[in-house]
Structure 1
Amino acid sequence: MSNAASPPAPPAIVDSHCHLDFPDFDGEHDALIDRARAAGVTRMVTICTRLRQEPRVRALAERYAGVFYAAGTHPMSAAEEPMATVDQLVALSAHPKFVGIGETGLDYHYTADSAALQAESLAVHIEAARRTGLPLIIHSRDADGDMARILADEHRAGAFSCVMHCFTSGAALARTALDLGFYLSISGIAAFPRSTDLRAIFAAAPLDRILVETDSPYLAPPPHRGKRNEPAYAAKTAAILAEALGMDYPQFAARTSANFDRLFPKAAP
């Protein structure tokens, strides 16, 4: 019988944005959650991107301890999906594990032709965030100017909380978001070797406004880049960013987890 002590548990950290309902993970959820917990990823928010799929996403949150969910219409789907209503999103927020509104936002990379519909959908989600007090989850790509303007104008019209998920935009949008009291979320992209400018944006941001995410199954950090991402890899992204910011990993994990609790109080321990 061995008297060797068990290895210490890894620092607890949160994956603030993943997509557990995507077919990439079909049939693997038990193992996926086990690997995440073994890596210290004790909580995660799985995001519904099309409201007709909300029951499937909700079921995952109900099945697993530590899994929470949010729902909205992804901007790239704004032209394909029925326009969400404020009342619809407010009704979803009654669920105890529904913790955020979105993801929503603007994406002009492939879907600039639906910019007007995206902005209309974004306004609906912002009003739902105001009414529920839940944080808005923003996706922004190739739309920095419009996104900064809309967020600033809407915030002046009525405050709301927000995270810029998978932040990869420029320093100007980062400053606008931070000035509004919003949070920036680090994904595996920030861990890529060439992402020096992006890491500089996070290094300049207040430490109490940074979250960690995977956006899995996308954007796996090194050494898994180009492969399927999963919630366990939030710990790998966080370790790389902690080193880049000159922090030890347990401290960075604790600080970003505390930030998550502040922004997503329904998911706090």
Structure 2
Amino acid sequence: MNQKFKIIDSHAHYDDEAFNEDREYLLNEINENGVIGILNCASSYDSLKTTDQLTKDHDFIFGALGIHPENANEMKIDTLDEIKAYIKNNDKIVAIGEIGLDYYWDENPPKDIQKDVFRRHMNLAKELNYPVVIHDRDAHQDTLEIIKEFPEVTGVVHCFSGSVEFAKECIKLGYYIGITGVVTFKNAKKVVEVVREIPLEKILVETDCPYMAPEPNRGKRNKSDYIEYIITKIAKIKNIDPYEANLRFNENFFRLIRKEK
């Protein structure tokens, strides 16, 4: 591990069951390895509570609260009120997420339900003036249409999988582009082109752990200190110093969550 890197993971799921056996040990280890910040993103209804608790147990963990589109059926009448209550009582909840659309799996909730839940979250973000963390899988057009309905809301399109044109549309609307370990994969031509074409100040780096570990750890359980490999690859694509890139990505993150470093 390159000790000079000060890593911020802009999207992680440390409340996932994949970390149940060694969560505290691992979080302490990655903190010692230079991870200075993590945004833990809720996905299910139950993870609203577990994410909130993680932010209270660890100084370097922030939280985003929302219902993932795969779990859109878990949205209840008072879920948004519950999220507001968490935010009111915890200033380390800094975003609404992970929210959005996922058309990849046939067994996911129907598209109209996903869209309704997405819009309800976007309305909450507008009301609270909070950034959003957007999940978009095989739903680029509908995602773009909905975020255009809420010009007051900005955030990040995480685990970006779209085209250069789509990335530029999102950036015009005030969004950051979240880059995962996929950028290190040998067949990752699309995301490499996106990284090449968009401004450094609109890029965030993330693990989406426990998923999508970068090379050379592809296939393993992902963790935040592996972001070193993502930063190094992006710096190579952009032909800039990796440490300088690291600092810029950290600045981007603090702009996203609107907090001073």
**1:13: how far off?**
1.9
Runs of 4+ in 1 over 6 A off after TM superposition: none
When residues 245 and 198 of structure 1 are mapped into structure 2, their CA distance, relative to the original with a 3 A threshold, is same
Contact 1:84–1:124 (8 Å) recurs in 2? no
Deviates more, 1:94-103 or 1:51-60: 51-60
Partner of 2:81: 87
Task: Report the secondary structure of 1:121's partner residue.
Answer: helix
Contact 2:40–2:51 (8 Å) recurs in 1? yes
Partner of 1:65: 59
Residue number among 139, 157, 180 corresponding to 1:164 in the alignment: 157
Q: How many angstroms apart in 1 are the aligned matches of 2:77 and 2:97?
A: 13
Alignment of 1:65-214 (within 5 A): 65-82=59-76, 85-94=79-88, 95-111=90-106, 114-155=110-151, 159-214=152-207
Q: How many angstroms apart in 2 are the aligned matches of 1:83 and 1:21?
A: 24
Query: Is 1:33 matched with 2:27?
Result: yes
Task: Report the secondary structure of 2:73's partner residue.
Answer: coil
Amino acid at match of 2:8: V
**1:46: how far off?**
0.9
- Superposed CA deviations along residues 98-144 of structure 1, whole A, max 9, x for unmatched, are 01101000100004651101110111111111122221000001011
Q: Percent identity?
A: 31
**1:91: how far off?**
2.4
If you compute each CA radius of gyration, which structure gives the higher value, 1 or 2?
A: 1
Deviates more, 1:85-94 or 1:234-243: 85-94
Partner of 2:243: 250
**1:85: how far off?**
4.6
**1:203: how far off?**
1.6
Task: Report the secondary structure of 2:204's partner residue.
Answer: strand
The total of aligned residue pairs comes to: 259
Q: Which runs of 5+ in 2 are unaligned?
A: none
Contact 2:7–2:225 (8 Å) recurs in 1? no
Q: How many angstroms apart in 2 are the aligned matches of 1:172 and 1:204?
A: 10
When residues 113 and 63 of structure 1 are mapped into structure 2, their CA distance, relative to the original with a 3 A threshold, is closer
Q: Which runs of 5+ in 1 are unaligned?
A: 1-6
Q: How many angstroms apart in 2 are the aligned matches of 1:231 and 1:96?
A: 23
Query: Is 1:230 matched with 2:223?
Result: yes
Q: How many angstroms apart in 2 are the aligned matches of 1:175 and 1:59?
A: 36
- Superposed CA deviations along residues 32-79 of structure 1, whole A, max 9, x for unmatched, are 123322332210011111133322221111111111111110001113
Deviates more, 1:100-109 or 1:186-195: 186-195
TM-score normalised by L of structure 2: 0.93
When residues 29 and 195 of structure 1 are mapped into structure 2, their CA distance, relative to the original with a 3 A threshold, is same
When residues 165 and 126 of structure 1 are mapped into structure 2, their CA distance, relative to the original with a 3 A threshold, is same
Amino acid at match of 1:70: A
Alignment of 1:4-23 (within 5 A): 9-23=3-17
Contact 2:125–2:153 (8 Å) recurs in 1? yes
Q: How many angstroms apart in 2 are the aligned matches of 1:49 and 1:152?
A: 23
